[in-house]
Amino acid sequence: MPQSHVVTISRFLVDQQRLHPEATGAFTSLLHDIALAAKLISREVTQAGLVDILGATEEENVHGEAVQKLDLYANQVMIRALDHTGLVACMASEESEGLIPIPDKFDAGDYVVIFDPLDGSSNIDVNVSIGTIFSIHRKRSEGDRGVLEDCLQPGRDQVAAGYIVYGSSTMLVYTSGAGVHGFTLDPSIGEFLLSHPLMRIPEPPKKVYSINEAYYARWSRAQQRLVTHLKTEADFGSRYIGSLVADIHRTLLQGGLFMYPADTKSPDGKLRLLYEAAPMAMIMDQAGGRASDGHRDIMSIEPESLHERTPLYVGSHEFVELAEKFLAEG
Ligand code: AFP
């Protein structure tokens, strides 16, 4: 059916900016730069099967995981899209151990951008959806350039967060605190078009839990009881892709409960607070859902280090609360 009007992401961002007469346009430009990076990464991801770019490099990232070539490419694209704009104070990435400073030859700005350039990269070779996740804070230190402390802010202080899912189509989903909006990339014109304005997690939600159940034996008794309850008494179905952005995107669109709990092998869980859990928490929060580490709101956690991990329970409000109830009972 023909659309009565088409709204590009650029148009949408400018319209949003107009709602804030005090806005300088810096934030709009920053999101625009991220959308450009997303298009470049999307192009490579969709061509990955065509060119000889697949397969792991010799390098490992700071977590000792094999880094694949597309991760390095995506990391470079994000850094290069943002480092010279004069909008960013500093950056941090899953692929870099420390802070990524803005080179001295460029001006620095007020925003701190933390990202996972290509999450779920072990899925690249099998053509499963992967994604980029980003979290934006305002610099709070006094100096001209950002410092580590600027990155170590709780999720509730994010000014924006979002992800791009490279799936059967490429979608950019973001919030800047005024609802969650989704844009689908039209590859024929190279534009993100508004396809999902004001996204809300459905109510009532689909009863679906999402967890890597192969780790059952490593879970706490409470975690085991929770999953047993969901499938035997609460009549839930199950879906697990193993690619966070894709699992969260489904949960946002259909409702449900995504879990990556602590276990005996990973006592703090696997997922990273600053560039996985916190941005997804802001999105879910804005869409009417919730995110918790099982005991407290993800948005309230004060980070201590850049690559810190956290257990994660995210999705429909009532299901996250149910998980917390089971975990509190021990
Ligand atoms: P990779 O980047 O190594 O594929 O890890 C993806 C991820 O960080 C996240 O996207 C998934 O939700 C989670 O790991 C899957 O972990 P398991 O393989 O342990 O289920």
| 166, β-bridge pairs | 130, 170
Mean pLDDT of 287-303: 98
**Which two three-digit tokens encode residue 251?**
């949960």
Phi, psi (deg, nearest 5) at residue 139: -60, 135
Residues 77/41, Cβ–Cβ less than 8 Å: yes
C-alpha distances out from residue 239 to 213, 216, 246, 251, Å? 10, 15, 11, 10
**Which two three-digit tokens encode residue 14?**
């400018």
Give the residue whose CA is nearest to atom 13 of ligand 1: 242
Total Cβ atoms within 10 A of residue 264: 10
Mean pLDDT of 55-82: 79
- What pLDDT score does 58 carry? 60
Ligand 1 pocket mutation pick from 121, 219, 243, 275 by most atoms within 8 angstroms of CB: 243
Residues 270/238, Cβ–Cβ less than 8 Å: no
pLDDT tens digits, 167-197: 999 999 999 999 999 999 999 999 999 999 9
**Which two three-digit tokens encode residue 208?**
């679906």
Tell me, in angstroms, the distance from the centre of ligand 1 to residue 121's CA. Answer: 8
* Residue 1 pLDDT class (50, 70, 90 cuts): very low
Q: Mean pLDDT, the chain, as a whole number?
A: 93
pTM for this prediction:
0.94
Helix %, strand %, coil % for the chain, to 5?
A: 35, 25, 40
Q: Between 50 and 219, where is the model more confident?
A: 219
- Which stretches of the chain are assigned E, i.e. beta strand? 56-60, 66-68, 88-93, 100-101, 111-119, 130-138, 160-166, 170-175, 180-186, 191-196, 208-210, 237-238, 257-260, 290-292, 312-315
Measure the CA–CA gap between 85 and 83, rounded to whole angstroms: 6
Share of the chain above pLDDT 90, in %: 83
Strand order in the sheet with 191-196: 100-101, 88-93, 111-119, 130-138, 160-166, 170-175, 180-186, 191-196
Strands 257-260 and 208-210: parallel
Residues 140/150, Cβ–Cβ less than 8 Å: yes
Tell me, in angstroms, the distance from the centre of ligand 1 to residue 243's CA. Answer: 6
55: left (phi over 0), alpha (psi -120 to 50) or beta: left
Residues 33/81, Cβ–Cβ less than 8 Å: yes
User: What is the DSSP code (8-state) at residue 8?
Assistant: B
Is the predicted pLDDT of residue 55 greater than 70, yes or no? no
* Residue 202 pLDDT class (50, 70, 90 cuts): very high
Q: Pocket around ligand 1: residues whose beta carbon is below 6 Å from it?
A: 65, 119-123, 212, 242-244, 247, 270
* Residue 132 pLDDT class (50, 70, 90 cuts): very high
Give the residue whose CA is nearest to atom 18 of ligand 1: 242
